[in-house]
Structure formats: structure tokens, C-alpha cells
Amino acid sequence: MSPRLARPADARHIAALEESFETGRWSEAAWAEEIASQRAHVVVEGDADAIPLGVAAFSVAGETCDLNRVVVAPVARRGGVALRLLLAGLAWADERGAVQMMLEVEDGNEPALALYQQLGFVTLARRSNYYGPGRDALVMALPLGEQG
């Protein structure tokens, strides 16, 4: 299976993937807006007629691509879905002339941190209480063309 572009009809299913998040969930309307945006690139993992197993949203501004969101269904975690989504986003960003990708990840999210570090992301800063009281974010970046 490989990532495909998200379609408006996917928004409902993508929003359902967010149910595994404690806080900060994106609504169906937010996902529909992201999918329709000219600035965003939203990819899903799943066959054309299947409910997506994962989603990632990216946007490019100038020379920087932001990984805005990545969500994988609990049953599909640790199966390479997030890696395939990120590789698709990195390729898209590189095609658009971005020279780096940036993201925020919750400090302590060991599976995500391991994946990002495997790809070569490095921590630039910490944002205290970014995800709520006592839940810091790490700001990470990767120069494009160097993913591992």
C-alpha cells in the first residue's frame, strides 16, 4: 500500500482517526478545509475505497515545509504507515523547493520521536506546555535531501 492524496470524502474518516488523541483533535470541518486548501498537501494511507489507516498534512511557506499533522489508526501503528506518509510529504516538499521540514512533537511520544530521529530530524527547541500543562513540545527540523 502506498499513500494517496486525500479527497473531500475522506474528511469524515480522517476525523475519526483523531479519536485516539486525548486533546487537540481536528474536526471533520478542519480536515475538509485542509484537504481543500491550495497550500496544503494531505495524504492518506489506504486503498481508494477503504477507510484511511493514516493521514499526514503538510504545507510549504517559502523554503520551509511544516508537518502539520500525522495520525495513524491504533490498529495500524508500528506498521510503517507513518513512515510512508512522511516520505511522501518529504518528496512533495522537495519538489516545491523547500529546503527543510519542521514539526512539533510531544516530548515523551517515544514512537514518533524514534521515527523522526530515524529520518534525521534534530531537536531545535522546546515549547513548554504546548500541548497543555506539563506537556511540552519539541521543535524538530530536517534539511531536505538528507532523510535517512
For residue 41, the one-letter residue type is H
In the chain, the percentage of residues whose pLDDT exceeds 90 is 72
In the chain, the percentage of residues whose pLDDT exceeds 70 is 93
pTM reported for the whole predicted model: 0.90
pLDDT tens digit string along 96-107? 999 999 999 999
CA distance readout (Å), 104 to 1, 2, 8, 24, 86: 27, 24, 26, 13, 14
Higher pLDDT, 19 or 54: 54
The Cα 13–Cα 87 span in angstroms is 22
Phi, psi of 134 (to 5 degrees): 75, 10
Higher pLDDT, 69 or 21: 69
The Cα 62–Cα 143 span in angstroms is 14
Q: Which helix (H) or strand (E) holds 105?
A: strand 100-106
